Chain A
Amino acid sequence: MSIILDHVSHVYEAGTAMEFAALKDINLVIPDGQFIGLIGHTGSGKSTLVQHLNGLLAPTGGNIYYNGADIHDNDYNKKELRSKVGLVFQYPEHQLFEIDVFSDVCFGPKNLGLDKKEVELRSYAALKQVGLEDEYFYQSPFDLSGGQKRRVAIAGVLAMQPEVLILDEPTAGLDPKGRDEILDQIARLREETGMTVILVSHSMEDVAKYVDRIIVMNKGQVMFDNEPREVFRHYRELEEVGLAAPQVTYIMQELKKSGFDVDTDIITIEEARRAILDALK
């Protein structure tokens, strides 16, 4: 079971002066249960790509298969696809619209046709998972701070219990603790349920810490697709396309230059701590 992108291209506003090729011949296989990081400079096509995975955008060339079926076949059930492939948009304020936070989170599961009790249980659990306090449940989502809105948007998708969870920059605007809590929670949910997670992120540190595969986009094409350590080895090439390695990788480079016997392909604090202690033994 998987998602397959076969020669997928997307051209916005074809035939006008605004014509723009945002995706160029993308070929990817996304097997069940992977935790994938999708990174790339602004405008590289990340949001365009993920909106193809739940059928929100249709490719202008190529095909997308979900569990073997072409999602743009005439008889394909798009509505079911949207419930299985949950997408948290980049700008959560665009996704909120109900009169209060709780109703907003209930909207998705309600549309799945679940009974009221189940809808409410799931919504409550999802709001707890994203760490929003009870006092906000019956407030208008428009009266929340930026980070609180983002939590509500994530809860709305979690409550649908999708098979594939796509988060388009979920942690932009979250406080550091909230960022860790939400990503830890998502990592835990993935362990428990085996769902696939695709994390679009501008934080190299978060991607290094959580995912097991990184896809790097550059100008609408896939530039690297590999394990994090392998991808960040190319930090010079990443810098050329607006990205970077995690800060800790640069620290290791500097230590090496100063004569410390340490590996330079380290990408997390814990690895770095152990390597430095070893080097000083």
Chain B
Amino acid sequence: MGIVETKNLVFEYIRRDEEGNVEGITRAVDDVNLSVGQGDFIAILGHNGSGKSTLAKHINAIHYPTEGTVWVDGKDTCEDANLWDIRQEAGMVFQNPDNQIIGQVVEEDVGFGPENLGVPTQEIWQRVEESLKAVGMYEFRKYSPNKLSGGQKQRVSIAGVIAMHPKCIVLDEPTAMLDPNGRREVIRAVRALNDVEEITIILITHYMEEIIYANKVFVMDKGKIAMEGSPKEIFSQVEKLKSLRLDVPQVTLLAHELRESGLAIPAGILTCEELVASLSAIRRRRGWG
């Protein structure tokens, strides 16, 4: 069994009026079967309201299934006895960096998690050091978080999660509020955690160019999984993605447009190098050097 598994997961938000009568039901997650292996880097895409955040909140037991089952590291999230383990094994990072940092000093903020877990003091300091180093923020350990840029704050939030020694981190649009540099820093940190520490990553994002490093992509549509595959497989289907309100990175889009204009370029180009290589090949075939 993988680190995160869902079987026929359904979640409904039920709205009630003041008397408690049901006013409306929104089926936010609709029969989702997900299987994430330990060490995977998964990306989840989908239109606004497609159910990404609702699904994510099942992974660390903020929401419980209306129907179906969710297992984290083999443990059913519905069983109270598993709650502590699950919250420690699956960490969450959210969109707004300002709402996640509570400490007055960076290292103190990162130490809160393990402290709450009852980790001995000596080990807390070790963990704080490791975690800050893993996201490239160790030199800022004595800073006050409100002196940091958005990208730096997000990396501190991620360090706070890592200090809990999770097996899996769910990041719900961690870069939405960041400038280009901040986005790069966060994605680089996330990739390093996946490569070096082998932490499972589940990244939710609306930035298509952030998912090219994932080994598997899920696309949600109205609560259901509509597409599933490698970034190359997903981004080969430009028209289908557009119909699901999504997009492709600029380089993929340019390659697509050039193909539509008659150039022999393969589908699913993800990087600038690939595009340059394939245009150079065309040029050679046409006899320019």
Is the pairing of A and B real?
A: yes
On A, residues with C-beta under 8 Å from B are 40-43, 90-91, 139-140, 143-148, 151, 169, 172-179, 202, 204-205, 239, 242-244, 246-248, 250-251, 254-255, 258-260, 269-270, 272-273, 276-277, 280
Given contacts A139-B24, A172-B176, contact A254 B272 (CB under 8 A): yes
Chain A residues, Cβ within 8 Å of B182: 42, 242
Whether, in the assembled complex, B206 has its beta carbon less than 8 Å from a beta carbon of chain A, the answer is yes
Interface string of B170-188 (1 = CB under 8 A from A): 0001001111111100000
Q: CA A169 – CA B48 in complex, angstroms?
A: 16
Chain B residues, Cβ within 8 Å of A269: 250, 253-254, 257
Q: CA A27 – CA B190 in complex, angstroms?
A: 40
Q: Which of B1-48 contact A (CB under 8 A)?
A: 13, 15, 24, 46-48
Asked whether, in the complex, the Cβ of A247 is within 8 Å of the Cβ of B206, the reply is no
6 contacts between A and B (CB under 8 A): A145-B49, A172-B176, A175-B206, A239-B181, A247-B209, A254-B272
Whether, in the assembled complex, B261 has its beta carbon less than 8 Å from a beta carbon of chain A, the answer is yes
Q: CA A151 – CA B246 in complex, angstroms?
A: 17
Chain B residues, Cβ within 8 Å of A42: 149-151, 178-179, 182
| Nearest residue, chain A, Cβ from B48 | A147
B23 to chain A, nearest CB (A): 9
Whether, in the assembled complex, B282 has its beta carbon less than 8 Å from a beta carbon of chain A, the answer is yes
| Nearest residue, chain A, Cβ from B146 | A18
Q: CA A258 – CA B95 in complex, angstroms?
A: 39
A12 to chain B, nearest CB (A): 11
Asked whether, in the complex, the Cβ of B53 is within 8 Å of the Cβ of A145, the reply is yes
Given contacts A254-B272, A258-B280, A277-B261, contact A248 B49 (CB under 8 A): no
Interface string of B220-257 (1 = CB under 8 A from A): 00000000000000000000001001110111011001
Count of B interface residues, CB-CB < 8 Å: 49
Chain B residues, Cβ within 8 Å of A205: 250
Q: CA A254 – CA B251 in complex, angstroms?
A: 12
On B, residues with C-beta under 8 Å from A are 13, 15, 24, 46-50, 53, 95-96, 149-151, 173, 176-183, 206, 208-209, 242, 245-247, 249-251, 253-254, 257-258, 261, 263, 272-273, 275-276, 279-280, 282-283, 286, 289
| Nearest residue, chain B, Cβ from A93 | B96
| Nearest residue, chain A, Cβ from B273 | A254
Chain B residues, Cβ within 8 Å of A41: 149, 179, 181
10 A-B pairs besides A41-B149, A173-B95, A254-B273 with CB distance below 8 A are A139-B15, A144-B49, A175-B245, A176-B208, A178-B245, A251-B250, A260-B279, A260-B283, A276-B254, A276-B279
Chain A residues, Cβ within 8 Å of B181: 41, 239, 242-244
Chain A residues, Cβ within 8 Å of B254: 248, 251, 269, 272-273, 276
Chain A residues, Cβ within 8 Å of B279: 255, 258, 260, 276, 280
A1 to chain B, nearest CB (A): 32
Asked whether, in the complex, the Cβ of A173 is within 8 Å of the Cβ of B173, the reply is yes
Q: CA A251 – CA B270 in complex, angstroms?
A: 12
A113 to chain B, nearest CB (A): 31
Chain B residues, Cβ within 8 Å of A179: 206
Q: CA A144 – CA B15 in complex, angstroms?
A: 12
Given contacts A176-B247, A269-B253, contact A250 B47 (CB under 8 A): no
